[in-house]
Structure 1
């Protein structure tokens, strides 16, 4: 039996390891479009049903398993069984040799490029992997149950670092070659992937990224669940293992980094008149002739904090928050946060409009989320409530807040585009020793483990 590899040393900085990717056996781009899915948190009940109808082997059956017969809780054990079955039947395959994977997403003329590998988990107080949003216990428990049942990471968390340098040259040289895999999602985003195994290239990446930190752009709840899973394994006496790492997509800020969009708020069960009356005590409120497609343009044109409040029928622009009301928020904060954090639109929306004026606490039942204007407005109509439509926070502000050790309200940002779920997955079993060589999911005893070939970044 192979000895477990030592856990990553977070004090040395980011640790990005090659891994043996689990992928769909087919490389047909049209078939892959029906087998893969958007990120789990962008899929509602209707979306899950549509994906299930698209193909019986769609990855949604792994990331959002159906509830068990006893109730409404997802059957995570079923996801584990399906994963094993698909591997045994050859629906899924695992790459023979570990690699980092260059992953490019093309959305129109924009290109997002980065590296997929397994990143060493760092302690929350270590300045290595920095969150920028708060998390809610429900989603963390949900993703923890999935990873504990399946012993797998199906979706990479997205990390943003400063970028540039020789590692960018490595990535750019790879994308000039034919990709190992290419497909286009239903949203029109083209995904291309290349395996990076050359030791010299890996060494260049390691040297270039040494000493850098990264900010979590997407995957706060999953990252929190991975930390909890690791702590449970250690408490159980399991020692070091694949639970010390997480599947991650590391992308640079700047030209080839992701864009930031807003995630809107929906307050169910409140009529627009009541919400507007509350808002008028601290905002300039103006009715506007508007439709959903014009909201982002209106908000982008505002030079300072502004929101749109709507029930889907009537639209109102909220702007010019009262300075005394903002001062009251600052005073109540009592120095816990920076001036920059207090000035974020999403902070003012939560602290002033939603909490102080409307009097609603932030939880996932009383404050719902809409990942785009159309979804948020539809949710407001469905719940007899109102939508609070926000401006996007700049990427520079997100990085600054995270590096200051602060966290924005939950689900404040939507970094796009997101990796396509199912193109690159990871199973713990492929990174562990096994007494029986050649058994499903085992690592050949003569082959170095992924941990043995880890690339240390910093």
Structure 2
């Protein structure tokens, strides 16, 4: 069992989904979810505990044993009848609400990021071993208000699950089993495509797992669907935050000395909050990053423009404005010559966690400003994918409130 850390959102801005109406649309179906027993909510869900290890370090077989033990001990209980679920989160880290359902994998879902193949393979193994979908995708779409009306309706009744997380976020879940609700929400989504705000690896892993099942002679089944939180962007726009990088094997002194040949490097006094604020201010005038070492923090700014342009020569032009493009092609590749592999360059959504990792194990963390709305729109308009782990849409749904078994086959279209 592991506890997941809530993500920081030092910098965030509203971003509408890049969606267009399609004939395919999004097909969503009710399912009988597995939920943490209310008697265990404060012990587990309040601290974001899950049967799986979010770092991916635990073997899938170990996760399967933990999950099945939770079932046998009634820590996880299954709802008796299928339903859509209304979900709402609010608190100091922001608010989001939407409908949780089983989304057919042939739905029109729009990705925007590249993938880490090893991460996809691990999720495939995890789902195959446990027989469960775990974290839901987070999908954003431009709605007409029909789903929002049902979400408003739910708030007048008592939720089936309500828990206050240790980060101050309140999470509530209702069952939406009324036939009229299922019909209205399904009809609203049938003519829409949805932007994948979070869960690219889980989405591709689900598609790969489905191919594996079909290749072994299995026909249609629960593997044709993946759970997702569907958020109407016109009702509650999702926000975008940064994804930082941790370089665990990089010597900070050598890295800063090399960076000083191409950037202006200066120490920053204070603590994490001041470092993030300084980065936010400096980013307004050009590319900038904060390097965190055990000895303190340093601002990297005002790069040699000619050198930057030369390093970005093989990077598609619409991606030049992305902070991660400059970090990867200029600093990581050209200046530091660090292999851009997960063991050498690790994504981290929480600046506090990145700082803690450096203080505990050494190396260096690089705080990155979030992509701007205009940069994302430019890249997607050109048909380009952002580098893997470029964005973190916030706030994310609670990772452990609702699970879906692959053994359950939702009703056909």
Same fold per superposition (TM over 0.5): yes
1:11–1:208 CA distance, 2 compared to 1 (3 A)? closer
1:120-199 to 2 correspondences below 5 Å: 120-122=104-106, 128-199=108-179
Q: Is the 8 A contact 1:37 1:420 kept in 2?
A: no
* 1:34 paired residue among 39, 43, 53: 43
Using the TM superposition, name which of 113-122 and 205-214 deviates more. Answer: 205-214
RMSD: 2.8
In 2, distance between residues paired with 1:162 and 1:289?
44
1:278–1:207 CA distance, 2 compared to 1 (3 A)? same
Question: Partner residue of 1:12?
Answer: 24
Question: Partner residue of 2:80?
Answer: 96
Q: Deviation per CA, 1:279-325, whole angstroms, max 9, x where unpaired?
A: 23432333322321222222222313211123132322122333323
Q: Is the 8 A contact 1:284 1:320 kept in 2?
A: yes
2:53 paired with 1:64: yes
Structure-2-length-normalised TM-score: 0.85
Using the TM superposition, name which of 77-86 and 170-179 deviates more. Answer: 77-86
In 1, distance between residues paired with 2:384 and 2:391?
14
Q: Is the 8 A contact 1:65 1:76 kept in 2?
A: no
In 2, distance between residues paired with 1:172 and 1:416?
21
* CA shift for structure 1 position 194: 1.3
- Bigger radius of gyration, 1 or 2? 1
Unaligned runs of 5+ in 1: 1-9, 40-50, 52-58, 68-72, 432-449
Question: Partner residue of 2:103?
Answer: 119
Q: Is the 8 A contact 1:38 1:418 kept in 2?
A: no
Using the TM superposition, name which of 394-403 and 90-99 deviates more. Answer: 394-403
In 1, distance between residues paired with 2:294 and 2:113?
28
1:11–1:195 CA distance, 2 compared to 1 (3 A)? same
Unaligned runs of 5+ in 2: 1-21
2:274 paired with 1:294: yes
* CA shift for structure 1 position 352: 1.3
* 1:423 paired residue among 377, 398, 401: 401
In 2, distance between residues paired with 1:280 and 1:234?
54
Q: Is the 8 A contact 1:264 1:369 kept in 2?
A: yes
2:287 paired with 1:305: yes
Structure-1-length-normalised TM-score: 0.77
**Count of aligned residue pairs for this structure pair:** 390
Question: Partner residue of 2:300?
Answer: 318
1:11-410 to 2 correspondences below 5 Å: 12-24=24-36, 26-28=37-39, 31-36=40-45, 59-60=50-51, 63-64=52-53, 74-108=58-92, 110-122=94-106, 128-253=108-233, 256-302=236-282, 303=284, 304-333=286-315, 337-339=316-318, 341-394=319-372, 397-398=375-376, 401-402=379-380, 404-410=382-388
Question: Partner residue of 1:446?
Answer: none
Other structure's SS at 1:301 match: helix
Q: Is the 8 A contact 1:158 1:216 kept in 2?
A: yes
2:411 paired with 1:451: yes
Q: Deviation per CA, 1:4-63, whole angstroms, max 9, x where unpaired?
A: xxxxxx961211111111113x324xx303233777xxxxxxxxxxx5xxxxxxx32xx2
Using the TM superposition, name which of 237-246 and 77-86 deviates more. Answer: 77-86
